[in-house]
Amino acid sequence: MELWFSENHTEDVKLSLRVNRQLYSKQSDYQRIDVFDTPEFGRVLALDGNIMLTERDEFIYDEMIVHVPMAVHPDITKVLVIGAGDGGVVRELTRYEQIRRIDLVEMDELVVEACRQYLTDNACRLDDERVHIYFENGLKFIRRCEEEYDLIIVDSNDPFGPSEGLFTREFYGNCYKALKKDGIMVNQQGSPFYAEDAHAMQRSHKRIASTFPISRVYQAHIPTYAAGYWLFGFASKKFHPIDDLDSAAWNAHHLRTRYYTTRLHIGAFYLPAFLERMLEEVE
């Protein structure tokens, strides 16, 4: 039998993975959740038919969204994570002893349930005693926070559908308010390649750049995401992502990583000409 999962990156492009077996499929209050085994990418989590993560390449996303801010800000102890119910971001954060509290706000309890059962390499640290899970809407949660966090990580889905509110000016403003005076917000910024993605990325960058004094975009190669090319936003009240990178301090943690290095950290901010122009247009 041939069983294939396909994701349309645009109406005219799709990526397909051979599937060994579907393990889980449920409709939650928010979205359809699927987990399946694939020979090339291991276990895959899809929400509404879009790949959220695969065992084979999640390290790229999770390392890049966590270690970049951690290597810049010298004293992160309290972190808010919005989305990321799979646990990959939390797993990377718990590797730092200095972090005392991680608040994880995930709207969809079923995502956490599915990952605890089927994606244990991601969910493995959700029971760390520093982790507090809130099953609620991130937009509402953040409204009541003020100067509380050193780092906010927004690990949302795409800006279409249930995560739409996590890409608004109001939301970014509330993140700013929820951060301490030297806080950093990192978010997934989508892909700049296909036209619809690129416009969403520009719109969101514009909003962040008008909210934070420092706002930069950095990149990674993520094979299962659109065009294999993914962006993150680094927004900050005080620290500059390259000038304030403390490579020696980060390397003293002796964390073994598979994608992130402090050298790659710098290169991740050196963007292609077409992308520099797209960002300048809205800055």
Phi and psi dihedrals of 23, rounded to 5? -105, -30
The residue from 38, 122, 188, 204 that contacts its own copies (CB under 8 A) is: 38
Tell me how long the chain is: 283
β-pairing, 50-54 with 13-18? unpaired
Residue range at the interface with its own copies (CB under 8 A); choices 36-44, 70-78, 84-92, 103-111 = 36-44
Minimum CB distance to its own copies smaller for 170 or for 272: 272
How far is CA 133 from each of CA 26, 101, 186, 212, rounded to the nearest angstrom?
Answer: 21, 11, 19, 27
Contacts of its own copies in 212-241 (CB under 8 A) = 219, 221, 223, 227-229
Residue range at the interface with its own copies (CB under 8 A); choices 94-102, 121-129, 199-207, 270-278 = 270-278
Contacts of its own copies in 144-203 (CB under 8 A) = 193-194
Bridge partners of residue 112, in order along the sequence: none
Chain centre to alpha carbon of residue 219? 12
Minimum CB distance to its own copies smaller for 55 or for 164: 55
Q: Minimal CA–CA distance to 7: which of 38, 114, 167, 29?
A: 38
253 near its own copies, rule: CB under 8 A: no
Residue range at the interface with its own copies (CB under 8 A); choices 120-128, 168-176, 245-253, 268-276 = 268-276
The residue from 77, 137, 168, 257 that contacts its own copies (CB under 8 A) is: 257
Amino acid present at 156: S
Residue range at the interface with its own copies (CB under 8 A); choices 13-21, 79-87, 118-126, 161-169 = 13-21
Minimum CB distance to its own copies smaller for 18 or for 26: 18
Q: Are 220 and 259 in contact (CB under 8 A)?
A: yes
Residue with tokens 């797209």: 278
60 near its own copies, rule: CB under 8 A: yes
Answer yes or no: is 34 a known binding residue.
Answer: no
Tell me the closest approach of the beta carbon of residue 186 to its own copies, in angstroms.
Answer: 18
Answer yes or no: is 156 a known binding residue.
Answer: yes
The Cα 283–Cα 230 span in angstroms is 20
272 near its own copies, rule: CB under 8 A: yes
What is the DSSP secondary structure assignment for residue 44, as one 8-state letter?
E
Phi and psi dihedrals of 258, rounded to 5? -110, -20
Residue with tokens 């999770």: 62
Q: What is the secondary structure of 111-154 as a DSSP string?
A: HHHHHHHH-HHHHTTTT-TTEEEE-S-HHHHHHT--S-EEEEEE
40 near its own copies, rule: CB under 8 A: yes
Amino acid present at 44: V
Q: Minimal CA–CA distance to 134: which of 95, 163, 105?
A: 105
108, 150, 155, 197: the catalytic one is: 155
- The answer to whether 128 is a known catalytic residue is no
Enumerate the known binding-site residues for spermidine.
Answer: 86, 155-158
- Known catalytic residues? 155
Residues engaged in binding its own copies (CB under 8 A): 6, 10-18, 38-41, 60, 193-194, 219, 221, 223, 227-229, 257-261, 263-264, 266-274, 276
